[in-house]
Structure 1
Amino acid sequence: MATFSRSTVEKVIVIDFYCASCQKQGQWAEFYCKKCLKFYCVKCVIKHGKKFKRHVTYGTEDKKMWPVPEKELQDLHEDKHIEGFCYIRIILAEVSVQGDPDQVFSVEGKSEYDVSIPSDGMGIPAICALSDDQILVADIEYKRLYLLDDQYQVVGHSDLSSFPRDICQITPNEVAVAVGLNVTNGVQFFSVNGGQLVNGTKFTCQHDCSGIAYYLQHLYLTSGTALFKYSMSGDLSNKLYEDTSAWRTVYKCAVNPSGDKIFITNVKHHKVLTLATDGSVLHMFTDPDLHCPCGIHVTDLGQVLVCAASSNTILQLDGEGKKKLATLATERDGLNYPQSVCYNRSTASIIVTHHLSNKILVFKVK
């Protein structure tokens, strides 16, 4: 049973279900099977699919197929109860009615941290912020994923099957790690539970994996020269884009909140490309401050951040990827071949990692 209450301010009703298989761990569901009448998280739906190959599951993009239709949610009144669902929660969360992807960040301060990992100067190729005290970084030399606390100190780690190249967030406590540069290329899933890293499922790819992004139960993987779309279980949907003119022409990727634009970095030709969902090129961005763009990140509002390694810059682009809105940081701010960038909404900060260094720079922004 769950209690619903309505607020008069601009808020959104979010109904989530626990995974039927791991409810005791508090894992939220991402899929629903009408045949089993059960909900599953990403990890468990893969196991379910292998056991019941003919069962059709519906992800969060098909919530109209879940037991509580959206039209029923709109009719709920104050203090009305929803009966008959064992694993359900209702959240009232304040949201922006319309996000502004062109809202320019203003840097207010900077902090610097040295991450105590055994990597001997190989640097940190990827970072992902789940919350203010759950930061994940990749160690390419020792093939590990590290969990950091709010002071960017190591509190846990897990070994990887190959060299980690990139990390993307799947759910509030789950990530996918792209691994490559080896005979073993693919994706490994991890969750953070009780302050510990928990190994999940994994799948292999027939190409190198240098970048990864997630949107609505699909993964976007870059190989250095191509962009691929995969299902969460590792089935290749299609190759969306390819540029074989050089290596690292399709290096890292990110998807905007509405899912209609995919951004990729072209290190070799110093560009950021904006693609449509069918892989066609919408825009191509270049700038004197954009030399060897590596990591790229899109915030929940659609703000586009990109770090350029050779020019030692962090740029903010407009939501279309057509023009530069600001150069947020440069070499004068301590950037030294930046490799990855992400925005931590919980702390309102932009986090940057570097090549050949375990130094992390954190820029407080508003």
Structure 2
Amino acid sequence: MASNMESSINRGCDFIFDFSCFTCQENDRNKEAEFYCEECSKFYCNKCVEHHNYLYKKHAILGKENISQWPETDVVELEQCQEHRKEKLTIFCEDHSQILCHVCHVHNHQKCSHVVLIADKVKVLHKKGDFKELLARFDAQHQQLIHKQRDLDENMKSLEKSYKTILEEINALRKTINDSLDELEKNTKKELDTFLVNTRTYVQNDVKNCTKSIKNIACLKDDWLRTKDKSEALSFIMYTKCHDHSLKVEAVLQEMRTQDERTLTFNPDTTIQQTLSALTGLGRIFSTVKQVKPAKGSTQSTVTRHNNSKASSHSDPDSDQTTPGFNINKSNKTSSLSRQHSPGNQKSDPTKSGQVSDPVSSSSYQLVKGYQPGAVSKSDQILRVKNGKNYSVKISKDNCPSIITGICYTATGELIIIDNGNCKVMLLDQTYKVVAHCHFLYQPWSMCSIDSSLVAVTVNRPEVHFIRVSNGQLIKDRILPLKHTCYGIAHQHGNLYITDGRALYHYTLDGRLVSKMYEDTSHQWIVTSCAVSPDGDRIYVTKEDSKQLVTLSRDGTVISTLTVRGLCSLGAACAGLHVTDSGQVLVCGYSTGIIYQVDRDGRQILAEMVTKNDIVTRPISIYYSKHTRSIIVGMQCIDNIIVFKEQ
């Protein structure tokens, strides 16, 4: 083979080389190649290789001594007709796009109208520049393939790196969950030990009293029997002592009979187990593919869903950005396995039906010990703010102090607030200056965003007013009549949640009652404010008589009840309650002047975002703006709002 490759055929003054110089061919010269470049996949003669080596110093060059490593190309064999082995291919039939020998031409292609000699065809191609164009295209494609291979190699390295990183995150999350479960177990056993000590003390005291009484009765009885025959006076005295002691013993026995038997029982919290059974994993895995469009040089991102065996049909607030490839369970963005891990991606409620308070979470004001934002879901990441700045919202015609009971941003970024004290709704610009307002005949209480420019406002009447922002003005759109007074209001994906002071109702946007989700009839002004998580899996209501935040599942099941110090007093206004677009729960401490952040399941207070040092007085409304990355606080009988920028 090597001898064949090294040979060439002399045909007159033209030579057909086994390997011809690529550069010379480009310039219509015919010269034998002496070198081959593996990087360029091209052959070069002695002169052209010098230019190549000057431009590409790191390319590996193979000379004739390494011709066995050159590509196996046999020009003579390539020119041979496969059907008529002794004949050379010299003719091209354009009608059939076939290369022929003269025998093929005579036998099969004599009737073809477009048959030309290969030599003539080559001259035409050279003249038109087709050879150069094809070689240039090959060269470009070759370079593209090299770059693509490098990109794929880098992509593979990146995939391996991200795989290891995700494994570390999964292991860290599992450790955090284990630590949380260990802490729960520790707390539960500590509570059991406390109950045992207290119960044992009560029982031991009763045993001690019984022993003492038994001893006294035996002594008195012996003394009475020993002295009853000695004298009547002595016998009567002993009788009197025994009678008095008998009355005391009877009282003790009566008290013991009325006391219930002391026992210890364990009522397990099934929330964790039911939550785990609803999960498909510890998190969601996303796989993003960038599709390159060569014609325009642009890219388009798509996302592949790897596993969706338990995916829910409920809409995801982030579905317009990414699509989850692996759902935690049937909810929003994150998962709740303990008090330090609230679910953000669950679409189903794991709790039992029935309004049952959580005995642990109902404790008053409990900060998370050792709280680490990186170890929890996005909904429980603590918001931190800088010092606040006051902005006046008073209008010269206002007759009463402002009572800012509602704050809301439209989807397009317009800020609207409610001044309950002056019965109006106001539109603010980016500098928090009032630019428009509209009055109401009755006091407006609460507000929520419906679409890009529409908000819903509750008034102290059985109706909801819809207001639209248009060209910097507030325009009253329509009125939705209901059968009860309206105070708190929240909206999520076409679902309206409205309170009337005693109950929380679920409506559609057209006013159709879906259900009464929660009720407390112990007072006329109890269930006031309400809010809903971005995925709709958690609904929050405030009970202002007991200063409690109640967290409900989608079907109205009570998940937890948390006491919050300073929650709005009766008759003051609706308690300040807000859920951010990321699911963080914010609550105003009316009498304490503190803004609290509560975990997603409403089981405990995570942090004091705004403290007494921030000089907030009687806060009754709050809103986090993703447009300005700031928290806006409204107060009672103060003509200002306070804006805190996020750190």
TM-score (norm 1): 0.70
Specify the alignment match of 1:171 in structure 2: 451
Checking the alignment, whether the CA contact within 8 Å between 1:109 and 1:365 is kept in structure 2 is no
Return closer, same or farther for 1:132/1:236 CA change in 2, 3 Å cut-off.
closer
**Residue 112 in 1 paired to residue 390 in 2?**
yes
Q: Secondary structure at the match of 1:294?
A: coil
Checking the alignment, whether the CA contact within 8 Å between 1:313 and 1:329 is kept in structure 2 is yes
Instruction: Provide the rounded CA distance (Å) in 2 between the counterparts of 1:215 and 1:164.
Output: 21
Specify the alignment match of 2:581 in structure 1: 300
Q: Paired residue for 1:200, among 448, 463, 477? A: 477
Q: Return the letter of the residue paired with 2:509.
A: M
Instruction: Provide the rounded CA distance (Å) in 2 between the counterparts of 1:287 and 1:230.
Output: 28
Specify the alignment match of 2:405 in structure 1: 125
Checking the alignment, whether the CA contact within 8 Å between 1:127 and 1:167 is kept in structure 2 is yes
Instruction: Provide the rounded CA distance (Å) in 2 between the counterparts of 1:351 and 1:325.
Output: 19
Q: Paired residue for 2:417, among 112, 115, 137? A: 137
Instruction: Provide the rounded CA distance (Å) in 2 between the counterparts of 1:291 and 1:214.
Output: 22
> How far off is 1:147 after superposition?
0.5
Specify the alignment match of 2:496 in structure 1: 219
Return closer, same or farther for 1:111/1:346 CA change in 2, 3 Å cut-off.
same
Q: Return the letter of the residue paired with 1:306.
A: V
Which of the pair has the greater relative contact order for Cα pairs under 8 Å at 6+ separation?
1
> How far off is 1:291 after superposition?
6.3
Instruction: Provide the rounded CA distance (Å) in 1 between the counterparts of 2:621 and 2:540.
Output: 14
> How far off is 1:288 after superposition?
3.9
CA deviations 1:144-190 (Å, max 9, x no partner) are 2110112221111123342100010111221110111xxx3211111
Farther-moved stretch of structure 1 (329-338 vs 207-216): 329-338
> How far off is 1:289 after superposition?
5.7
Specify the alignment match of 1:187 in structure 2: 464
Q: Secondary structure at the match of 1:101?
A: helix
* Pair member with larger Rg: 2
Q: Return the letter of the residue paired with 1:116.
A: K
Q: Secondary structure at the match of 2:526?
A: coil
Q: Return the letter of the residue paired with 2:636.
A: H
Checking the alignment, whether the CA contact within 8 Å between 2:467 and 2:474 is kept in structure 1 is yes
Instruction: Provide the rounded CA distance (Å) in 1 between the counterparts of 2:483 and 2:598.
Output: 33
Specify the alignment match of 1:332 in structure 2: 613
Checking the alignment, whether the CA contact within 8 Å between 1:224 and 1:247 is kept in structure 2 is yes
Instruction: Provide the rounded CA distance (Å) in 2 between the counterparts of 1:261 and 1:273.
Output: 10
Specify the alignment match of 2:426 in structure 1: 146
> How far off is 1:344 after superposition?
0.6
Specify the alignment match of 2:327 in structure 1: none
Superposed CA RMSD: 2.8
**Residue 309 in 1 paired to residue 586 in 2?**
no
Which has a greater percent of helix? 2
Instruction: Provide the rounded CA distance (Å) in 2 between the counterparts of 1:291 and 1:136.
Output: 22
Return closer, same or farther for 1:247/1:333 CA change in 2, 3 Å cut-off.
farther
Checking the alignment, whether the CA contact within 8 Å between 2:488 and 2:499 is kept in structure 1 is yes
Checking the alignment, whether the CA contact within 8 Å between 1:218 and 1:229 is kept in structure 2 is yes
Consecutive unaligned residues in structure 2, runs of 5 or more: 1-288, 299-318, 325-332, 335-377
**Residue 209 in 1 paired to residue 486 in 2?**
yes
Q: Return the letter of the residue paired with 1:359.
A: N
Which has a greater percent of strand? 1
Specify the alignment match of 1:323 in structure 2: 604
Q: Secondary structure at the match of 1:109?
A: coil
Specify the alignment match of 1:39 in structure 2: none
Aligned 1:37-76 pairs, distance under 5 A: none
Instruction: Provide the rounded CA distance (Å) in 2 between the counterparts of 1:272 and 1:315.
Output: 12
Q: Secondary structure at the match of 1:120?
A: coil
Return closer, same or farther for 1:206/1:352 CA change in 2, 3 Å cut-off.
same
Instruction: Provide the rounded CA distance (Å) in 2 between the counterparts of 1:119 and 1:131.
Output: 32
Specify the alignment match of 1:156 in structure 2: 436
Number of residue pairs matched by the alignment: 280
TM-score (norm 2): 0.41
> How far off is 1:267 after superposition?
1.2
> How far off is 1:115 after superposition?
0.6
Consecutive unaligned residues in structure 1, runs of 5 or more: 1-73, 81-91
> How far off is 1:93 after superposition?
6.6
> How far off is 1:305 after superposition?
0.5
Q: Secondary structure at the match of 1:125?
A: strand
Return closer, same or farther for 1:219/1:291 CA change in 2, 3 Å cut-off.
closer
CA deviations 1:30-87 (Å, max 9, x no partner) are xxxxxxxxxxxxxxxxxxxxxxxxxxxxxxxxxxxxxxxxxxxx9x99689xxxxxxx
Checking the alignment, whether the CA contact within 8 Å between 1:283 and 1:321 is kept in structure 2 is yes
Instruction: Provide the rounded CA distance (Å) in 2 between the counterparts of 1:273 and 1:263.
Output: 6
Instruction: Provide the rounded CA distance (Å) in 1 between the counterparts of 2:531 and 2:506.
Output: 12
Specify the alignment match of 1:18 in structure 2: none
Checking the alignment, whether the CA contact within 8 Å between 2:459 and 2:487 is kept in structure 1 is yes
Return closer, same or farther for 1:230/1:318 CA change in 2, 3 Å cut-off.
same
Return closer, same or farther for 1:290/1:188 CA change in 2, 3 Å cut-off.
closer
Return closer, same or farther for 1:77/1:200 CA change in 2, 3 Å cut-off.
farther
Instruction: Provide the rounded CA distance (Å) in 2 between the counterparts of 1:290 and 1:140.
Output: 19
Aligned 1:213-292 pairs, distance under 5 A: 213-288=490-565, 290=567, 292=569
Instruction: Provide the rounded CA distance (Å) in 2 between the counterparts of 1:355 and 1:93.
Output: 38
Q: Return the letter of the residue paired with 2:617.
A: N
Q: Secondary structure at the match of 1:332?
A: helix
Specify the alignment match of 1:362 in structure 2: 643
CA deviations 1:249-273 (Å, max 9, x no partner) are 2110000011011001111101100
Checking the alignment, whether the CA contact within 8 Å between 1:133 and 1:148 is kept in structure 2 is no
Checking the alignment, whether the CA contact within 8 Å between 1:132 and 1:344 is kept in structure 2 is no
> How far off is 1:131 after superposition?
6.6
Checking the alignment, whether the CA contact within 8 Å between 2:423 and 2:440 is kept in structure 1 is yes
Instruction: Provide the rounded CA distance (Å) in 1 between the counterparts of 2:478 and 2:391.
Output: 32
CA deviations 1:325-346 (Å, max 9, x no partner) are 1011133212111110010111
